[in-house]
Amino acid sequence: MRFIVSDEIKRICPSFVGCSIETEIINSSFSDMLWTEIEQRCAELSKHYNTESLKSISAIEATRNIYKLCGKDPSRYRPSAEALIRRVIKGNKLYQINTAVDLINLASIIYGYSIGGFDADKIHGDTLTLGVGRNNEPYTGIGRGEINIEGLPVYRDELGGIGTPTSDHERTKITNETKRLLVLINGYDGNENTVRLCGESICSLLNTYAHSKSITLTIY
């Protein structure tokens, strides 16, 4: 897969660092061991953050700033990492979806990055371009119905948008039957070292819980 960062994103966030992970997996509906790890991390988050202080996490703060620069209210359209951590802090459990999605969410709450996860076989073409959502651009968020992505950073394939930091698209969502996985980490804080660490953490989780093989990590 080829990744293009558009000029409009480069102007808004010249320090942007992206990370892709491409791999083959054996997905499952649930992993006891993974969920134990998730619950331990959630307990730690609840001790260290509240709904205001979590906004100072570098990756979350940077993503919120990008939303504002794009003309989007980050408190109305929350970046997914912020939404996940807020849910935990307020005493609610994370949604349990499937093993691949659950481990991506774990990495997201650890590092604060909004991370996209996609069934690679549902992506059209061999190129994804990161741009900014347009007025009246159609987009169906997973479990959210039609959402207004004007002013949101968005990855597009040949058919249209597939992922924003707020919600990925129904068309390319991960299911229990997903065999080829694509993960995209959005480093709007420009910290390549932390983005790479996040990517390596996901690779490790995929090896442990999703029997991944032929795994490739790329910084772009």
- For the chain, give the longest Cα–Cα distance: 44
Q: What pLDDT, on the 0 to 100 scale, is given for residue 86? A: 98
Q: Specify the 3-state DSSP secondary structure of 126.
A: coil
Burial letters for 197-207: b for 16+ Cβ neighbours within 10 Å, e otherwise?
ebbebbbebbe
- C-alpha 164/C-alpha 139 separation (Å) is 10
Confidence of residue 120 (pLDDT cuts 50, 70, 90): very high
Summarize the confidence of residues 103-132 as an average pLDDT.
Answer: 98
Q: What pTM does this model have?
A: 0.98
Q: What pLDDT, on the 0 to 100 scale, is given for residue 201? A: 98
- C-alpha 109/C-alpha 205 separation (Å) is 14
Confidence of residue 42 (pLDDT cuts 50, 70, 90): very high
- Report the share of the chain in percent with pLDDT over 70: 100
CA trace torsion 189, 6, 25, 23 (10° rounding): -90
Summarize the confidence of residues 192-200 as an average pLDDT.
Answer: 98
One-letter amino acid at 171 equals R
148-172 pLDDT per residue, tens: 999 999 999 999 999 999 999 999 9
Q: What pLDDT, on the 0 to 100 scale, is given for residue 92? A: 97
- C-alpha 40/C-alpha 121 separation (Å) is 33
Per the prediction, the chain carries an average pLDDT of 98
- What's the CATH code of the domain at 101? 3.50.40.10
Summarize the confidence of residues 188-199 as an average pLDDT.
Answer: 98
CA-nearest of 112, 57, 100, 132 to 208 is 100
Summarize the confidence of residues 191-214 as an average pLDDT.
Answer: 98
Burial letters for 174-194: b for 16+ Cβ neighbours within 10 Å, e otherwise?
beeebeebbbbbbbbbebeeb
Burial letters for 103-136: b for 16+ Cβ neighbours within 10 Å, e otherwise?
bbbbbbbbbbbbbbbbbbebbeeeebbbbbbeee
Phi, psi of 162 (to 5 degrees): -125, -20
Which residue reads 């558009």 in tokens?
A: 6
DSSP H helical segments within 49-175, as ranges?
Answer: 58-70, 80-89, 99-111
Summarize the confidence of residues 83-93 as an average pLDDT.
Answer: 97
Total structural domains within the chain: 1
Cα angle at 209 between 87 and 200, to 5 degrees?
80
Q: What pLDDT, on the 0 to 100 scale, is given for residue 204? A: 98
Residue 12: give the domain boundaries.
Answer: 2-219
Task: Report whether 117 contacts 181 (CB < 8 A).
Answer: yes
